[in-house]
Every structure is written in structure tokens, then in C-alpha cells.
Structure 1
Amino acid sequence: MAMVKKKKGLYVLLIGIFIFSFGFYEVGSNHFAYAATTFPKGSSIGGIDVGEKTEDEAVSLLLSAIERWKNEGDFIVQTANDSVVIPYKNIKFDVKASVKEMTNQIDKPWYAFFTKSEPQQLPLTVSVDVTDELLDKFGNSIDVKKTVQLIENTISYLGQHKITAVSSNQNDAEATIAETSWEIPSDYLFMDELLEELNRISIPANSSFSYLESIADKVSYYSEAEGNFVVSMLYALLLQTNVEFVERHSQGIIPSYSEPGIEAKVSKNEKKDFIVYNSGPNEIRVTAEQTGNVLKMGLRSKKPENTYRYSIENSLDVDYRTINRYNKDLQPGHRQVLQPGQKGKRVEVYRITVSSTGEKIDKELISKDFYLPTPEILLLAPAVEETGDGTETGENAGTGEASTTTEDGTVPTDQKTNTTTGPGNTMNATDSNDANHAATTDDSIYEQPNVVK
């Protein structure tokens, strides 16, 4: 009988939980069903800031921006012999689809409900109706498909009102605008797929390029170290073009294959991407070829009016600190380097624009990079002095303070030695009295919880 009552009570409890959960779901659904979506701060559509706006507010804002853009003048395509006006009736903006795409981009799965949505930058959805009349005006020397793509890319960010048509023989006018060769580290074993994807990369004018989307996400096996090598090389090349760097992260260390400031990092797990925007007027193609342990990478495009180069300036070395660690079991005068010190560095990277006549016409700061120094860690035996009465004292290095030894010749466990690690900085290191640690220099023994290696 008691068992029956227990089962009955259990059923009642389960039914109560079900009803409560269902009611909570209904209330929650009713509560959020009509909540307006607000886009994350920093989000933009077509270059228009829609951060902290609802969908309706974003639509209204974009429509107003499009009208202002149209009122600035006609949209003109310059051909070799004429200027062709593209009527605005032939240009279709789908604002609602643009806003819907933004909503889809920031939409999160149920298990990520409490995570913060990242800001997004999307183009406007635009299409151009190419009539027979426009085709006649373009003529046979124009690559219509590429020209229309250039028009749509430009308008999708409400860009300039005048572009140059893409010639049908543009490929014949291509040239190598930047080229470099780097030695591949010996332990990089999965470069083949990366190179295959690199050779497929082209960045049309007025378009963005994402390394994670275009390369990393398309290979069957991705090594972050090899990805950093490739993207660093690509970064060095794109510094010699007029692209805009939307997102670039430093590795925080100076890799062996490059120089300070000329490196980049991409990470799927940390969501760190490398994104550039080609503001035009020409498409940029990537070429990559491996010969032995050397990777040769280049950029091909129609020869630009201006040329570009990068400059590393204001390089400053940052001294490292020395951390002294003491062990009473070592012979007097013992000194061992547990970790060599390495200087840090600060650099600034600039892009220089040079005209066709060789005149420097612009200098743009691209990045400021800082590489932390690596502290030097020394293992020392405490200095010992013999006093006039025959007793021994241990002198604390760098402080002039003395610590008296116990009867068995050891330093008390609560006796600390102040160790100077740099100008104005002091760290504490304690002696080890564990018999198992005697006569060893294993770095893990001397690691202190407040010392960062």
C-alpha cells in the first residue's frame, strides 16, 4: 500500500512538473514572440550603421540612405570610348532581403541563448537589369558579366557613382603586382590543400575576402600553425596593394619565417579571421607554387595607376627581466640558466603610396605591434658568509638582508629571498627543502605560482 502511495505521489509530481514547464514555455513564448530583434552594436548593411536598430528601423534607415545616394547623381560606367549612364530604374534594391539576411546572421541556436551576438557587416542585396539598349552602349569590347558584377558590388555598399567597365581582354593586361618567396618550416606537412585553395582565390573589386571562409573552412585538415604561415605571407603581399584591412590579428610572437609586424594570425577556435576589402578598381588573383621547401606566392591584377610598398618604422627593443631562483642544496657559486632571456619589440607598419612618376603621395599607418620580452630565469645557490664567531649566515641576493641558517644548515621554510627582476620590480622565490628535490635542476621544481614564464 505504501508502495502504491509512493508511485501515485511520483506520478503527481511528474504531471506537475510537465504542467509547470508547459506553462513556462507558453509564457516565455508569448513574452518573446513579439520582441523586436535589435542588431548588435557595430553592425552595418551596405556600409550603413544599423547597430542597436530593430528590423523596421533598419529598413527605414536603409531606404533613406539609398534615396540620398541616388540624389548625389547618375551612376556612370566609363568605357574606352563613351560614358554609359545606368538608369536607376534598372537597379533593384531588395532592402527587406538585406535586413532578413542580417537577422539570420545574428540568429543563435537555443543552446547559445545567453551568448552575445557578434556585429556583422553585410552588403545590400542589389541586382542590375541589363537591357538590350545597355548592351548596345557597352559594345563588344566590354566584358558584360564582370562589368555588371562590378556595378552590383559597388552599389551594394553605396559606393562611388562612376566606375570603369571591365575590358573583355582584361586578362591579357594582367601583371604580377606583388611577389615573395618564404622558406616553409620543416614540420609543416599539410600545405598541399592550402596551396590548392590559394590558387582559386580572386578578390573582385569592391568585394571582401575572408581567410577562414575562403581557405580554412574548405580544407579537410587544417593546421593553425600552417594557416598562420600562409596568411602572414598573404598579408605581406596585400600590404603592397590598396586593399583595406578589415580584420587582422598578431601572433604575439615574431615567427622565424617573417619579420616584426609582417605576420598575422587566424584561429577557428578563437574566431580570429583575416579579412580585407578590395576597394577597386581591379580584381586581384592569388598565385602560389611550392618548390622543395620554398613557397612562392604572388598577386596578379591589372597594373594599377599607383604602386604600394610597406615600411617598418619606429622599431624599439624592450629589455627582458631576470628572475633569480635559489636552492640551498646547490654548491656555493652555482649558476644555471633555466630559461634564456629574449628582448621584446615594438614596431609600426606603414603603407606607402607611390605615383607613376615615383613621387611618394601618401603614408598610412596600418598597425602597431608589440611583442612581449621573455624573462631570463637563473638558478643560483644562496651566497654564504662566515662570521667571526664561526657561524654561517645566508645573504639575500640583491637586498643585503641576511637569513640565519638552522642547526642542520638549512634555510627555514618561511625565509624568503627578495629577487630583483627589473627596474622597480621585485618577485619572491622560496628555497625548496624537499629531500626528493636535492641535486636536480628540473624547472618545474622552482616554478612559483606568481611567476609567469
Structure 2
Amino acid sequence: MLKNNWNRKKVILLIVSTITVCIFIFSAVVLKDRRIHSGISIEGIDVSRLDYNTAHQRLEVAVDKMNPTKKVVLAFGDNVWEYGFADIGISYMIKGAIEEAYSIGRKGNIFSRLYSIVKTRFKKEQIFLRVSYDKSAMINILGNIKKEVDRQEKNAVVKFENGEITILKHEMGKKLDLNKNLDVWASNLEQKNFTSIDLIVEEVEPQVWETDINDIKDVMGSFSTRFNPEDANRSYNIKLACSKINDILLMPGQDFSMNESLGPRTTANGYKEAPVIFKNELVKGTGGGVCQVTTTLYNAVLLSKLKVLERVHHSMPLGYIDMGRDATIAENYIDFRFRNSNDYPIALFSRVQGNELKVFILGKNKEKGKRVVLKSQVVEKYEPQGEEVEYSDEMFVNEREIIRQPKSGYKVLLYRETYGADGELINREKISEDVYAPVKAKVKVGKIAVREEYGPFDEFGIFGKLY
């Protein structure tokens, strides 16, 4: 019995020893092998038992077959852009894939390494090639394409020439989103997808469509005033101010500000020095003449029956317009504002021809067949009392110079009347009640004392005889 047990132990010991020797020999052979272990493929190419150089050569051949043209294609509509791999720095990361394959069975202790090698023989291991690319080159390419593709949207516009109203259609814009397209392109490259890429181009809508303004068909109201073309600076300012309120579109409910439209009345903004009213006198100031443009617009607004939000009359009557129908502005504290109080858009146009300034308001004329008239009515007159005296050290006491003539003051009512086609008055409404204060005469008188037979005092207070 003991002998049989001993024999059994010897057999087991022999088997274990044999297995150990075999494992040792297998390990010595396998672990020292400098080639890629069996059961490993890269991108579907079997690289089992291949050394680095051979695996590299085989993969290069396979990669060439994957994309023989070595081109990428970008497309939008009928436009196509082709770029070679070299333009974008595209390359397959063969070296990294081989290094990954070679590392299998070569990490950890001897037992984990052997387990990995045996497992790979039976279960197989698939490694995928990664693609590298030059992102900055792709950004430059997309940037150049963007310049070709992008198109600024265009609003529908109203044109008014020779009394004719025309509507120019709107145009949709196009905008290539650089970041979105870069992400899609990079994702395709990482997936080794080299099929044509349709670029993402967004359509940009304009703010004003043709359907928004096709109700503008009529001249709602217009008004003109005349100016002296020989006053070069004032004429220049009038033309400049006209250009700043020309071709302006106001949607329903939108407000207009004269100060905002004209901008600062400075030389830097193009305005020149010309007479302006200051404290009841004409003095030189930058932007003289813009009030005449404001007044002309104000009358066109009244004739068009738009809602006036802010209006201030001048301190004294003007020569180019009836009292009660003028409007002044002063930067930062006096403005002329009105609102498009209609349920349809309107457009402003201004023209200067010769010495005539004319403002048109276009829209849908609800007063067609009717006549709208503005009438000023003086209800009170105020005569100036006394005079304003200014003393001069350079004039004799008996000398007197008139600097400013006296001006009467007035209380003026403005009415808007609407007449039918038959000439019958349909409606009369009071628009404003203005008071123009009277202006005293301004005189300059001397302070130097004189006597009949003697001259003025000299510097010592002694009379000098007159000869």
C-alpha cells in the first residue's frame, strides 16, 4: 500500500516537473521573441509574428489601398473644393498602432504576460489606426471657403425717383459656421471617413422682407421750403442734414428722433459754421441750417397725420415758414420726434434741388382724394416795452447805435383742415398754440461825457478845447 502511494507521488511529481519545464521553455522562447505576438491585427491586417519594419511596410501598402487618391472633398451646392492629404497634414499613425500591438503580452509580471499572450492567440486582438491632421490648416481652408460662400443678407428697400415708388426685393444671406464645420470635418477624419463632406451653411434672414413694405405705394405728405444758396455754409449744412434723413424706413409704432438721425453738430461730423438763433439773435454756430430741415420735415409729418411726440418752436418768427409751423432742435435738450402711428411702414425721403428743400413721406395714403391743409392764425400781438441798453466806453453820451430792431410778439394757433374731393371742409383740428415773445430793441449808447465848447475829459479829468 505504501509502495503504491509512493509510486503515485513520483508520477505526479514527474508530471508537474515536466509541465514546469515545458512552461519554462515556452516562456523562455515566447517572452524573448521580439516580434508581435500571434492573434493581433491592425485595421484588419494580420501582423502576427511580424517584426516592426515588416509590419510597417505591410500597413503602408494597406493604407495606400484605403484611399489611393489621398484627397478630401468639401462641397456646398454646386461648389466643390478638393484638398490633398498633404494640404491638411493627414497621416495614419502607423507607428503608434504597431507600438500598441507590440506592447500586448509585454506588460506586467511573467504570469500576466503569458496569460495575455495565450488569450490573444485564441480570442484575437484588433487594433485600429488613428489619423492625425493639421487643425490650423483646416481652419485656414474653411476660412477661405467662408469668404467665397458667405453672403450678406439684404433688406427689401423702397426707392423713390422722379416721383415713382419701387420696391427692391430682399435677399437671403448665407453664413458658413466655421466651428460647426470644423467639428464635423475632424470627426470624419478621426473615423477615417474621406467621403465628400457637405458643408453646413446657414441661411440668414434679412430684417425687412418685401412683404413687410409692399404697402408703401403713395406719397402721404410732402412739404418744401426755400433757402439762400449764396450762404455756402448754411446750404452745405442743409444738404448734409437732408442726406441723414433720406431713405429712412419706419415700421409701425417705430419712433423717429431728429437729433439721433443728424448726429452731433460738430466739424468732426461734417457740419460747418453758419448763423443760428441764440437768445433772439442770429449768431455763428456749427450746424446752422439744420432747423430748416427739421421744420420742413415737421410740416410733412403734420400733412401725413403722423403722431408728433416732441416739438418746440423757435424763439422768434422765421422768414421761410409761417408762424406756428416751425420746429427747432438743440443738441442734448431740444429734439423733434414723431412716431409712425400707422399699422403699416412708412419711408422718409428728402431732396435738395437748387434752392429748394423738399421732404416726402411715403406709405399708404388714407386721405386719397382729400386735401390736407395747415393754417396759422395769429390771435394776439404783443408790442415790446422799453429797450435793452448796452453802454460803450468808446462812444460819446450823445451817440446811439441800434444793434437790434424791436420785434413784435405773437400768439399763434395752428389748425389742420381736411377737405373732400368736392372742396367741402370735412375736419378741422387744432394742432398747437405757440407764443413768440416780443423782442426789445437793443441799443448801444456812449459813456464819454462832452460839453458844447469843450472836448471830452482827458486822462487827468481836464477838458480839452474843441477846434
Tell whether the structures are fold-level matches, with TM greater than 0.5. Answer: no
* TM-score, length-scaled by structure 1: 0.42
Which entry has the higher C-alpha Rg, 1 or 2? 2
